[in-house]
Amino acid sequence: MDLVVNRLNKSQGAIGFHHGAIGFHFVLQQSRVCIGNSRATQLVSCGSKDVYRLGLAAPDVIATGGDLIAGAFQKSTKSIPLVVITEDLVDAGFVASMARPGANITGISLMSPQLDGKRQDILIEAVPGAHRIAALVDSNVSTSQHLKTLEQSARMQGKELFVIRAVNAGDIRAAVKDAIAHGASGLNVLGSPMLHLNRHVIIDQAAALHLPAIFQWPETAEEGGLLGYGPGFVELFRQRAAMVAKILRGTKPSDLPVEQPSTFKLVVNLKSAKAIGLKIPESFLARADEVIE
């Protein structure tokens, strides 16, 4: 049988994703669950239309990410174990609880609602003169309660939050322009597979408009984004691989508690800051995990 690792789009395979995939395979090799000809691994690129085909291949495990693809796999099979990474497995309804997922699915919750708030705080600290902050939202995943919490947090710090929405990639450029039109001096790109896949559009548009922006993944700052805060791809993929190994050894997904990222990294790209004329406080730079100069 094959172990199928799914990714949403080839553009996801930049610096972080490539290294993450290598880490994933390394952990499986070290665990000795994929040794020999009887069990191999595949890294495939697919969309929703390919879900049925992959299900027919009857792999031992399907490892995937993102709410839309994970939901499609969950609907297509009740028997193949699924190890997924999504913004919030419980709130999205994929699992019954963190401790007892139930059914054939488990994985890693990215804690996106909490981390979106943390990133907002970081952005405010990096751009202390900003009185209005914009939140770029994927309308397919963000909830009204989540946005209300962000608005309340901004208000408590004497800031105003303006929400801009994108349903798909075609909405992004206009949405970022809308942030400037409404006086935003900073942009918080909320956790979302769609927004991550289109991160270079956001990076370029924010730079052109001299709009400081923070992103979900630290690797995005390495690709030219101003700020990135969150778990790293390599650590996250290794963590998922360890869960996959447990299932391949016989643990049922329903008995494997949902995990969360354990390490987080703040990366600041000073090249990007200089390009938009932003002076970041030295006290902020001192506590960054990585500063790109």
pLDDT exceeds 90 at position 71: no
Answer yes or no: do 142 and 163 share one domain. Answer: yes
Lowest mean pLDDT among 43-57, 109-123, 145-159, 232-246: 43-57
Question: What pLDDT was estimated at residue 23?
Answer: 65
pLDDT in tens, 114-151: 999 999 999 999 999 999 999 999 988 777 888 999 99
pLDDT in tens, 157-191: 999 999 999 999 999 999 999 999 999 999 999 99
Task: List the strands of the sheet with 40-45, edge to edge.
Answer: 40-45, 2-7, 61-65, 82-86, 105-109
CA distance readout (Å), 281 to 116, 128, 259:
21, 9, 35
If one compares 2 and 290, the residue with the highest pLDDT of the two is: 290
Please compute the mean of the pLDDT values over residues 218-238 and round it to a whole number. Answer: 93
Contact criterion met (CB below 8 Å) for 258 and 108: yes
CA distance readout (Å), 263 to 184, 186, 231, 234:
30, 25, 6, 11
Answer yes or no: do 16 and 46 share one domain. Answer: yes
The amino acid sitting at 223 is E
Answer yes or no: do 119 and 177 share one domain. Answer: yes
DSSP 8-class letter at 56: H
pLDDT exceeds 80 at position 22: no
State the chain's mean pLDDT as an integer: 86
CB within 8 Å of 261: residues ≥ 6 apart = 108, 110, 111, 230, 231, 235, 236, 239
pLDDT in tens, 35-51: 444 454 555 555 556 67
Q: Is 223 exposed, middle or buried (0-12, 13-18, 19+ CB in 10 A)?
A: middle
Q: pLDDT category, 70, cuts 50, 70, 90?
A: confident
Cα–Cα dist 121/154, whole Å: 8
Answer yes or no: do 152 and 28 share one domain. Answer: no
Answer yes or no: do 90 and 150 share one domain. Answer: no
Contact criterion met (CB below 8 Å) for 102 and 96: yes
Cα–Cα dist 126/268, whole Å: 10
Answer yes or no: do 191 and 100 share one domain. Answer: no
Answer yes or no: do 284 and 195 share one domain. Answer: yes
Question: What pLDDT was estimated at residue 216?
Answer: 95
In a domain, 170, yes or no: yes
In a domain, 168, yes or no: yes
Answer yes or no: do 13 and 71 share one domain. Answer: yes
In a domain, 219, yes or no: yes
In a domain, 212, yes or no: yes
Expressed as residue numbers, the domain containing 30 is 2-110+232-255
Q: Number of structural domains, the chain?
A: 2
Answer yes or no: do 249 and 205 share one domain. Answer: no
Q: What is the CATH number of the domain that holds 164?
A: 3.40.50.2300
Contact criterion met (CB below 8 Å) for 159 and 130: yes
**Residue that has been written with the tokens 């708030």 in this structure:** 117
Answer yes or no: do 82 and 144 share one domain. Answer: no
If one compares 291 and 6, the residue with the highest pLDDT of the two is: 291
Cα–Cα dist 135/137, whole Å: 6
Question: What pLDDT was estimated at residue 14?
Answer: 52
Query: Which runs of consecutive H residues, i.e. helices, occur in 41-164?
Result: 51-56, 67-76, 112-126, 144-156
Answer yes or no: do 237 and 154 share one domain. Answer: no
Lowest mean pLDDT among 5-14, 89-98, 225-234, 263-272: 5-14
Question: What pLDDT was estimated at residue 7?
Answer: 45
pTM: 0.86
The amino acid sitting at 121 is D
The amino acid sitting at 173 is R
In a domain, 65, yes or no: yes
In a domain, 156, yes or no: yes
In a domain, 260, yes or no: no
Answer yes or no: do 164 and 288 share one domain. Answer: yes
In a domain, 201, yes or no: yes
